[in-house]
Structure 1
Amino acid sequence: MLQAEKSDLPWLTKSNQQGRDVLAAQHILQLKGLCVGLINETKLDRSEEKTIIRRVLHGDTAAYESLIAHYQPRVFATARKYARRESEVEDIVQEIFIKAFKKLDSYREEAPFEHWLMKISVRTCYDYLRKHQRNKVSSFSDIAQEDFDLLEVIGEEKHPTREKQEAINKLVHDLLERLQPAARMVITLLDIEGKSVKEIAKITGWSVSLVKVRAFRARKQMRKILEDFNQEKYL
């Protein structure tokens, strides 16, 4: 079991509560800079990862930087699927790594650390969506007709140009922003990332049946958005 005893961590004892709080606060302040700063990407194998986690749990909190460096690209990529502004992406990434740091003693090494971290990442992104939900379902005036025309060529071109692919990605993001948080989450995981229903259930904590229901409702909502656009463009 990957969990340090309190006797191994003097700054976790009740008699040193103030020292623990100061140390934790100091390190979290450091993490806020590390999470969004430029860190040279670190490649870690499974055994190195376990060693680093044990070091962090035994008080070497500075070792956590290696985990940030290793997983930062993956976490940033996940956050960018749910937020557009870079400042918002950075806030999400920062919150993910701080949550993981605070909950590290709950990690069990039987499962890959990456899976554990991605659960935290996806759930943090979901919390962000619910907290910052924008009402963009009333009008399509901010989406150009030529952007929507790309939908007709997505299936026809196996290798679209970089510019066209970027435009398609932007359009997809615009459409996803019009979905409710749960709908956006399930569409992103199921249709964009290609995860199975069981994988989504494990990541989100939802039941398999709830994932299926939310996927059905999300696709129905997406079809309604497209129908509304088709009606609006001919008005």
Structure 2
Amino acid sequence: MHSMPPRWGRSSRKWMRLLPKSYPTEPAQKADVTILVPPSSPPVQAVSGASLLNMLILDTKRTVCVVETEIPESEWVARAAKGDEDAFLHLANTYRPRVWGTASRFARSRAELEDLTQDLFVKIWKGLPTYRSDAPFENWLMTVTVRGCYDFLRKHRRRRESEQLVDPEKSREAQDPRPKREANRREAWETVHLLLDQLGSKDRTVITLLDLEEHSVRETAELTGWSESNVKVRAHRARKKMRQIYDELGLEA
């Protein structure tokens, strides 16, 4: 039976920590990129979305020219913003785990997650010229990522609303060969997805950032561009709705 805390609220974060930190797992064939220094060749013209995806996702053997000097991140960012593919590939290789991990909170399947991750890197690539160095690059990158995930939820909202709720009891029909603890964690995560799917795009984004990504209210407001009071109100409303849906489904705490 699905496990659930006795109430939603402050205790919800403790329960969320029992869930896998990344789901699904990182792709088995991740880009094998070795970069020690920016390429000496002049910046190239900006590539198309399809070309960029091929560079990031499909070219698993790519290795960029090697020298011995360590270059600061700001230099990589500056080169990438001018259209340097190899510099962007270095940044993508560095931050891919962060982008993939956040995207995994919003996607429902491996295929959906891969598509979302690719779309996010396209947004990051196209948005680089707008980055201003007075703020940390990682903060800017994660803001683009979170807002891209929110856009993804909005676009998929109608399709998800048309899907019927999955009966939790059906998940017990298939025997899970994994250890009981892992099976319980998987079951708990499926319950979370079941509940999150019933929230509006903004409410789901807030709950994901606060309870799954464990950002503060202030950080969540900065990432989304919404006010702190708006974040608090949405979090309260979303947790209340999740508790109500949980009770209506007859799941046991």
8 Å CA contact 1:129–1:181 kept in 2: the answer is yes
The residue aligned with 2:149 is 125
8 Å CA contact 1:39–1:69 kept in 2: the answer is no
| Cα displacement (A) at 1:104 | 0.8
The residue aligned with 1:87 is 111
Q: 1:221 to 1:92 in 2, by over 3 A?
A: same
| Cα displacement (A) at 1:80 | 1.0
Paired amino acid for 1:202 = E
| Cα displacement (A) at 1:136 | 6.6
Runs of 4+ with >4 A deviation: none
| Cα displacement (A) at 1:145 | 7.3
- Tell me how many residue pairs correspond in the alignment: 195
Which secondary structure state, in structure 2, belongs to the residue aligned with residue 63 of structure 1? helix
In the superposition, the TM-score normalised over structure 1's length comes to 0.73
8 Å CA contact 2:102–2:213 kept in 1: the answer is no
| Cα displacement (A) at 1:146 | 7.3
Quick check: which one's helix share is greater? 1
Q: Which structure has the greater CA radius of gyration?
A: 1
Taking every aligned residue pair, what percent have the same amino acid on both sides?
41
- Please say if 1:198 is aligned against 2:218: yes
Q: 1:215 to 1:136 in 2, by over 3 A?
A: farther
Which secondary structure state, in structure 1, belongs to the residue aligned with residue 146 of structure 2? helix
CA distance in 1, matches of 2:224, 2:215: 12
Provide structure 2 residue ranges, at least 5 long, that are not aligned to the other structure: 1-41, 64-69, 173-179
CA distance in 2, matches of 1:63, 1:146: 45
- Please say if 1:34 is aligned against 2:55: yes
- Please say if 1:165 is aligned against 2:185: yes
CA distance in 2, matches of 1:186, 1:175: 14
Q: 1:183 to 1:136 in 2, by over 3 A?
A: farther
Which structure is richer in relative contact order (CA contacts within 8 A, separation 6 or more)? 2
